[in-house]
Structure 1
Amino acid sequence: MKTIIQKLKLKFKKFETFENLEEHKWFMPQLNRHSAEEFLKDKQIGVFIIRESESIQQALVLSVKVPTYINSSQFCHYVIMQSKNGVWVRGIEKKIFKNLDQFITFCSNSRDIIPVKLDVDFYILENKTVYNRSNSLNSVSSNSSNFSDLSDL
């Protein structure tokens, strides 16, 4: 039988669902709302970041670029809450996920929770280049071109 102190420690400990976020390129805890919008403004619809909430302790915020017909500013911000049961978007408790990765994966394949699919490919393809822009079109189409670089696509 657990003591009261052990129960309290479990209740107030930082939940494991938000740990190890630093390994994800989309996790940008240092950004505030304005900086998040600046980062997203020239990106395509669906590009997102996860940042720390400025007003709710131990909560995160999903900031995502959306079409103007959804929000004229082209940005939506969703508070992501956590508990021992998992993570969910505040105000949309119909779906609870085991961890943040499951939430991101779900939202990248479905519009059930937020109005656009999250573009996780942006972070996968961000550092890959299909061709070197300094090359001319002629050199890309020449017979001596090496297409082995296309295997990374």
Structure 2
Amino acid sequence: MSYTICSIQFDENLAEIVKENKASVISDGTDSLSEDFKSIQNSISSIHKTSSIILKSFAPQTLSITTSNSCIDENSPWFYNNITRQSVELALKVRSVGSFILRNSSSSPNSMVLSVRVPKYIKKSLVVHYLIDYDRDGCKLRGTKKLFTTLSALIVHHSIVTENLPVALDLRQYYPESSQSKEYSDYLT
């Protein structure tokens, strides 16, 4: 809409300039004014074209939206679709600090649960659970503002930076032979 409004205003200004210059050309009848008029008209025309190009770059873009959620990657090794909270807690209690499992939330629609093994001084039961909200724009830990395009991006981010979690997520259990886990193993323990 702003493109149309600007064009209308610009065209009105152009019409006023044209009227003024035509009147001066008719009254004087000199060729120099006619040349000046053509020069002004060409300048205005080139400015109008440039402003149209600039304004078009700010026009709303149409995006294709898929109905499936691209945030969820159910093939990730840390994702367990149908697992209960109790089973997750039993599995994580015998793992090292930073171990985690991601599952669908049974009580909160459009949410997943990130369950993380933490030290006993943080939680006696050794496991804390975080809701992850997701929609077509991405996913984030509930109560935070940082949005990630995929769950994998959220997981990898929190394996490097604890930020909103009490411990860094440990990816080594899922990728034991990766060069990254060997290279950064000192930082993750």
Tell me if TM exceeds 0.5: yes
Name segments (4+ residues, structure 1) moved above 2 Å: none
Q: Following superposition of structure 1 onto structure 2, how do residues 19-38 of structure 1 map, counting pairs within 5 Å?
A: 20-22=73-75, 24-38=76-90
Superposition deviation, residue 33 in structure 1: 0.7
Q: Which has the larger radius of gyration?
A: 2
* Structure 1: stretches of 5+ with no match in the other structure: 1-9, 127-153
TM-score normalized with structure 1 length: 0.69
Per-residue CA deviations over 1:38-66 (Å, capped at 9, x if unaligned) read 11110000000000101012311000100
Matched, 1:113 2:164: yes
Question: Could you say which residue in structure 1 is the equivalent of 2:154?
Answer: 103
Aligned length: 113
Superposition deviation, residue 73 in structure 1: 0.9
* Structure 2: stretches of 5+ with no match in the other structure: 1-64, 178-189
Superposition deviation, residue 16 in structure 1: 1.4
TM-score normalized with structure 2 length: 0.56
Distance in 1 (alpha carbons) for counterparts of 2:163 and 2:113: 18
Question: Could you say which residue in structure 2 is the equivalent of 1:7?
Answer: none
1:61 to 109, 113, 134: 113
Structure whose residues are more often strand by fraction? 1
Superposition deviation, residue 85 in structure 1: 2.1
Matched, 1:122 2:173: yes
Distance in 1 (alpha carbons) for counterparts of 2:110 and 2:137: 15
Tell me if structure 1 keeps the 8 A contact 2:74–2:81: no
> Identity over the aligned pairs, expressed in percent?
35
Distance in 1 (alpha carbons) for counterparts of 2:95 and 2:119: 11
Matched, 1:15 2:66: no
Distance in 2 (alpha carbons) for counterparts of 1:59 and 1:14: 15
Question: Could you say which residue in structure 1 is the equivalent of 2:27?
Answer: none
Distance in 1 (alpha carbons) for counterparts of 2:140 and 2:77: 21
Per-residue CA deviations over 1:48-98 (Å, capped at 9, x if unaligned) read 000010101231100010011111111110111112221101112x21111
Greater RCO between the two (CA within 8 Å, min separation 6)? Answer: 1
Question: Could you say which residue in structure 1 is the equivalent of 2:103?
Answer: 51
- The alignment yields a C-alpha RMSD, in angstroms, of 1.7
